[in-house]
């Protein structure tokens, strides 16, 4: 069974940084692209970033480009999202998801950016 | 970048009705289109990928069609458990944009 468990969310002030992690199990992690999707309170799904299975290709939404970094540690089956220069509009539940068209989703990690 | 639109933004239908949701891409994306269901308070779930291929375990009343720029998700006979918001997503190339969603409820 595929399991994705996010961690690292919380309350931060504007301009601060946060690192999300996603521990994956139940599949051959290195064989799959991975994706972060976020959902602001009461809003729709927003694709944030994706990374290829080997980690060599990364993709970002314009809204986070230059501020967020995606990476993975295939030896530890873990996906990361480093979020810098956070803004109020980054407040959302962040989902870790398997594949470019996500076939499995984590439960989400809430990130709140507020002073 | 390619923009994704959905129509309608919401609909209300009776149990047993046939429901159709449309997703349109501003440029052709071949069949690199997925559909998701998100029930209130729940995690999204993949229903359809490659425009018309059903994900394992998805009830047969859900079907997808289309190619290029115009796609549809059809629920052949709406059930109470289908109350949810439905999203399309393009994945031919980055950005892998989601549509704005269509909220479906029971009349």
Query: Rounded to the nearest 5 degrees, what angle is found at the Cα of B9, between the Cα atoms of B7 and B14?
Result: 95
Distance CA A114, CA A86 (A): 9
* pLDDT for the residue numbered B98: 98
Q: Do A47 and B98 touch (CB under 8 A)?
A: yes
Q: Are A109 and A19 in contact (CB under 8 A)?
A: no
Question: pLDDT tens for residues B2-36?
Answer: 999 999 999 999 999 999 999 999 999 999 999 99
What letters, b where the CB count within 10 A reaches 16 and e where it falls short, cover B68-81?
eeebbbebeebeee
Q: Do A106 and B1 touch (CB under 8 A)?
A: no
Residue B23 neighbours by CB under 8 Å, 6+ apart: B4, B5, B6, B33, B35, B66, B70, B71, B72, B73, B88, B99
Q: Which residues of A touch B49 (CB under 8 A)?
A: 101, 103
Strands A78-83 and A18-25: antiparallel
Q: Are A19 and A82 in contact (CB under 8 A)?
A: yes
Q: Which residues of B touch A44 (CB under 8 A)?
A: 85, 87, 98-101
Q: How confident is the model at residue B69 (pLDDT cuts 50, 70, 90)?
A: very high
Distance CA B19, CA B62 (A): 10
CB neighbourhood size of A45 (10 A): 23
- CA nearest to B19, candidates B73, B71, B85: B73
* pLDDT for the residue numbered A43: 97
Cis peptide, bond prior to residue B95, ω within 30 of zero: yes
Is B95 touching A (CB cutoff 8 A)? yes
* pLDDT for the residue numbered B7: 98
Question: pLDDT tens for residues B74-93?
Answer: 999 999 999 999 999 999 99
Mutate to test the interface with B, among A40, A100, A103, A106 (most CBs of B within 10 A): A100
Distance CA B7, CA A40 (A): 21
Residue B17 neighbours by CB under 8 Å, 6+ apart: B77, B78
Cis peptide, bond prior to residue A104, ω within 30 of zero: no
Q: What is the mean pLDDT of chain A?
A: 97
Q: Are A56 and A34 in contact (CB under 8 A)?
A: no
Question: pLDDT tens for residues B29-45?
Answer: 999 999 999 999 999 99
Q: Are A40 and A112 in contact (CB under 8 A)?
A: no
Mean pLDDT of B61-77: 98
* pLDDT for the residue numbered A4: 98
Distance from CA of A77 to the nearest CA of B (A): 21
Q: Do A101 and B46 touch (CB under 8 A)?
A: yes
- Report the residue of chain B nearest A43, measured CA to CA: B100
């Amino acid at each position: 069974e595929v399991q994705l468990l996010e961690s690292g969310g919380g309350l931060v002030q504007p301009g601060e940084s946060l690192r999300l992690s996603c521990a994956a199990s139940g599949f051959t992690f290195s064989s799959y692209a991975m994706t972060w999707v976020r959902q602001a309170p009461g809003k729709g799904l927003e694709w944030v970033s994706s990374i290829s299975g080997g980690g060599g290709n990364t993709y970002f939404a314009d809204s986070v480009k230059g501020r967020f970094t995606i990476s993975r540690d295939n030896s530890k089956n873990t996906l990361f999202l480093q979020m810098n220069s956070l803004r109020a509009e980054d407040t959302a539940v962040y989902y870790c998801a398997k594949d470019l068209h996500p076939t499995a989703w984590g439960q989400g990690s809430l990130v709140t950016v507020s002073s | 970048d390619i923009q994704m639109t959905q129509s309608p933004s919401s609909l209300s239908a009776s149990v047993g009705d046939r429901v159709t949701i449309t997703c349109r891409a501003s440029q052709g994306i071949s069949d690199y289109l997925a559909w998701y269901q998100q029930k209130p308070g729940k995690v999204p779930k993949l229903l359809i990928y490659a425009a018309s291929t059903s994900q394992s375990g998805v009830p047969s009343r859900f079907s997808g069609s289309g190619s290029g720029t115009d796609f549809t998700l059809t629920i052949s006979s709406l059930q109470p458990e289908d109350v949810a918001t439905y999203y399309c997503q393009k994945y031919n190339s980055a950005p892998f944009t989601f549509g704005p969603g269509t909220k479906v409820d029971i009349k």
